[in-house]
Structure 1
Amino acid sequence: MKNKTVLITGASSGIGLHFSHKFAQAGHNVVLVARSEDKLLSLATELEGNYNIKAHVIKADLAEMGASRVIYEQVTSNDIEVDILINNAGFGLFGEFEQTEIEKEVEMIQVNITALTELSKYFGKEMVNRKNGQILNVASTAAFQPGPLMAVYYATKAYVLSLSEALANEWEEHGVQVMALCPGATKTGFSDTAQLQESKLFQSGVMTVEEVVEEAYKQMAHQKKAVIIPGFKNRMLAGSIRFMPRKMVTKIVRKVQERI
């Protein structure tokens, strides 16, 4: 992959931040999208100085309706052609469904599902017309099963996985590769936002952001897999779920989600 332009949502931290460095280091221009303009401007300066690439900054809150359209219009008005779209922005929420805040869950659906779908539509149509492009949607191993104590989050990631696999099939003949990245527990700010640090899941071992991004980048270069699951343990767990009764899987997930 050379001389591409990569748009990354949630670019100011975690997986998005490391994707920004990874693509810039490889010589690609980047379009950085996040809520914090100060962080984005600092990151853009760093990337341009270190890697001699062009970094564009778009401040946007994907929890707001219409934000995706604004991003698309800003990109097109600047005559930027997005070759690779990384739909990374997303967040979770821990707690029993009747106790969690519906406002937060509606925002989660807006970010994890609606904004991701809109951005895939806007930039995907252009890629199909050009007969070239890549879209990486960040899902999770949560996509493979129901998730008691994080019911809405798990459901949003199941949507991301299903959409990505369907689009991978539809757009393959048009030269556009669509992939779902499904990391397991990963050491990022996400776990703090979702209040997961005390859960058995995160106490049992996590991958680093660098490991996740490195595996995803390698698989994107090979352009073979529609579903990328970093880590041998994560791949084994995701595969074994297919052979277990759903009720049993749900109970197991509940156990590992509970706080110690």
Structure 2
Amino acid sequence: MDYLINNAGFGGGSAFVTRSAARDLAMVQVNAAVPTALLKLFLPGMVARGHGRVLNVASAAAWFPGPEQATYFTTKAYLAALSNALWYELKSQGIRVTTLLPGPIETGFAQAGQLTRTRLFAPGTGVDPQIVARAGYAGLLAGKRQVIVGVTWWMRWAARCYPWLPKRWVLAVIAALQRSRP
């Protein structure tokens, strides 16, 4: 296999303690364990051949802790960190690992995760999935380390400034964006 595209995942809103353990553990399995297993399965062959490309679909959520979606944000942070480490480890061996970090996308994600009543996932606020797919694929072919698409200016600003921003403020803003509105 020359190309691996790890694009599986689901989210779900509400406070960590109110979500079922089974649901959150399933999320860890789908969002983190399965992509890791696929990387373990296919990377050795790519390394043996001296070429290959991987696109791991994480999320802009990887940049922050995620009150009201704690497990989702954490699994995407894991995948983004793993992808960056692999990019560095494998670049000299002819393997390119690209991390796709999209913002909200107009797919069934928000509906499935019961997030449509949040500020972040209000209907019509996400980017077209074809735009995200094209950007991710172009980045994969170009061998980019990461591709950011569908992220507002304020999200980019917050991600760059996050290390210096007051954590209580950041957490409060993220929680407000994630909470369901009446």
Question: So what's the TM-score if we normalise by structure 2?
Answer: 0.92
1:86 aligns with 2:5: yes
Match of 1:222 in 2: 142
Q: Residues 98-157 of structure 1, C-alpha deviation per residue, up to 9 Å, x if partnerless?
A: 111110111111111111101011101111111100111110011000001111111000
Among residues 39, 43, 58, which one is paired with 1:124 in the alignment?
A: 43
Match of 1:250 among 164, 171, 181: 171
Matching residue of 2:102: 183
Higher CA-based Rg:
1
Which shifted more, 99-108 or 235-244? 235-244
CA distance 1:155–1:92, change in 2 (3 Å): same
The answer to whether the 8 Å contact 1:229/1:235 transfers is no
Query: Which one scores higher on RCO, CA 8 angstroms, separation ≥ 6?
Result: 2
> How far apart are 1:94 and its partner, in Å?
1.1
Spell out structure 1 runs of 4+ moving beyond 6 A: none
Q: Note if 1:149 corresponds to 2:85.
A: no
CA gap of 1:107–1:207, structure 2 versus 1, over 3 A, is same
Asked whether the 8 Å contact 2:98–2:139 carries over to 1, the reply is: no
Q: How has the CA–CA distance of structure 1 residues 217 and 236 changed in structure 2, closer, same or farther, with 3 Å as cutoff? A: farther
In the other structure, the counterpart of 1:73 is none
* SS of structure 1 residue aligned to 2:121: helix
Please state whether the residue corresponding to 1:200 is helix, strand or coil: coil
SS in 2 for 1:106: helix
Q: Which residue of 1 aligns with 2:82?
A: 163
Cα distance in 2, alignment partners of residues 132 and 87 from structure 1: 17
Q: CA RMSD in A?
A: 1.5
Identical counterparts, % of pairs: 37
2:62 partner amino acid: A
Find 2:128's aligned residue among 208, 213, 224: 208
CA contact (8 A) 1:86 1:136 kept: yes
Structure 2 residues without counterparts, runs of 5 or longer: none
Query: In the alignment, residue 120 of structure 1 is paired with which amino acid?
Result: L
Change (3 A) 1:120 1:98: same
Please say which of residues 164-173 and 196-205 is displaced more in the overlay: 196-205
How many residues are treated as equivalent by the alignment?
Answer: 178
| TM-score normalised by the chain length of structure 1 | 0.65
Distance change >3 Å, CA 247–CA 125, structure 1 → 2: farther
Report the secondary structure of 2:55's partner residue. strand
Aligned equivalents of 2:131, 2:162: Cα separation in 1: 23
- Over 3 Å counting, the alpha-carbon distance change for 1:143 and 1:96 in structure 2 is same
Q: 1:95 to 1:232 in 2, by over 3 A?
A: closer
After superposition, residues 7-46 of structure 1 pair within 5 angstroms as none
CA distance in 2: counterparts of 1:259 and 1:127, whole angstroms: 44
Instruction: Say whether the 8 Å CA contact 1:143–1:155 is kept in structure 2.
Output: yes
